[in-house]
Chain A
Amino acid sequence: MKSNRKVLIVGAGIAGLTAARELGRRGISSLVVEKGDSLGGRTAAYTCKAVNGRCQKCGACLVQDTLREVREAPEIEISLQTSPVAIQREAGGILARLKKGEQETQARFSALMLCHGFEPFDPGEKSSFRYREIPNLITGIELEQMIRETGNVIRPSDGRPAKDMAFVQCVGSRNPSLGRPYCSQVCCGYALRMARQIRAGSPSTGITFFYMDVQTFGRDFERMFWEFRDAVYWIREIPGDFFTTAEDGVGVVVEDEGEIAELTFDVMVLSVGMGHVPDQHVFAGWLDLRQGPEGFLVSPDRDGVFVAGSASGPMSIPDTVANTRATVSRLMDYLEERP
Chain B
Amino acid sequence: MKYALFLGCTIPARSRNYEMSARAVAHRLGIEFVDIFDFSCCGFPLKSSDMKQAGLLAARNLALAEAQGLPICTLCSACTSMLAEEAHLLARDRALFEEVNRELGKVGLSYSGHVKVKHFARVLMEDVGLDRIREAVTVDLKGLPVATHYGCHYLKPSEIYEGVEDPENPSSLEALVTAVGARSVEYAHKRDCCGGAVLVADEETALKMAKGKLDHVKNAGAKVMNVVCPFCSVMYDDNQKSIENQFEVSYGIPVLFLPQILGLAMGFDRKELGLNMNVVKTKGLTEEITGEK
Contacts and interface: CB of A to CB of B under 8 A. Distances in A.
Interface of A: 127-128, 130, 241, 243
Contacts of B189: 241, 243
The 8 closest A-B pairs by CB, nearest first: A127-B168, A128-B168, A127-B169, A127-B166, A243-B188, A243-B189, A241-B189, A130-B168
A130 B166 CA distance: 12
Contacts of A130: 168
Interface in B143-175: 166, 168-169
A71 B169 CA distance: 49
Contacts of B166: 127
Contacts of B168: 127-128, 130
8 contacts: A127-B166, A127-B168, A127-B169, A128-B168, A130-B168, A241-B189, A243-B188, A243-B189
Contacts, number: 8
B205 to A, nearest CB: 13
A137 B125 CA distance: 33
Interface in B122-140: none
Contacts of A243: 188-189
A128 B168 CA distance: 6
B189 to A, nearest CB: 7
Nearest to B191: A241
Nearest to B190: A243
Given A127-B168, A241-B189, 6 more contacts: A127-B166, A127-B169, A128-B168, A130-B168, A243-B188, A243-B189
A127 B163 CA distance: 13
A246 to B, nearest CB: 11
Nearest to B188: A243
A175 to B, nearest CB: 15
Nearest to B168: A127
Contacts of A241: 189
A128 B166 CA distance: 10
Nearest to A127: B168
A69 B79 CA distance: 68
Interface string B188-203: 1100000000000000
A130 B169 CA distance: 9
Interface in B204-237: none
Contacts of A128: 168
Interface in B169-191: 169, 188-189
Nearest to A244: B188
Nearest to B167: A127
A130 B190 CA distance: 13
Nearest to A251: B188
A265 to B, nearest CB: 17
B109 to A, nearest CB: 37
A5 B14 CA distance: 84
A170 B265 CA distance: 48
Contacts of B188: 243
A128 B189 CA distance: 12
Contacts of A127: 166, 168-169
Nearest to A253: B189
Contacts of B169: 127
Nearest to B192: A241
A156 B166 CA distance: 27
A264 to B, nearest CB: 13
A243 B189 CA distance: 8
A127 B166 CA distance: 8
A128 B156 CA distance: 14
A241 B169 CA distance: 12
A233 B188 CA distance: 27
A241 B190 CA distance: 11
A192 to B, nearest CB: 29
A127 B169 CA distance: 7
Nearest to A129: B168
A243 B186 CA distance: 13
Nearest to A133: B169
A75 B84 CA distance: 65
A262 to B, nearest CB: 10
B76 to A, nearest CB: 26
A241 B189 CA distance: 9
B207 to A, nearest CB: 17
Nearest to A130: B168
A134 to B, nearest CB: 13
A243 B168 CA distance: 12
A243 B192 CA distance: 13
A268 B57 CA distance: 48
B57 to A, nearest CB: 30
A241 B212 CA distance: 15
A135 to B, nearest CB: 15
A247 to B, nearest CB: 15
A130 B189 CA distance: 12
A238 to B, nearest CB: 16
A14 to B, nearest CB: 36
A128 B188 CA distance: 14
A255 B168 CA distance: 22
A84 to B, nearest CB: 35
A127 to B, nearest CB: 4
B216 to A, nearest CB: 11
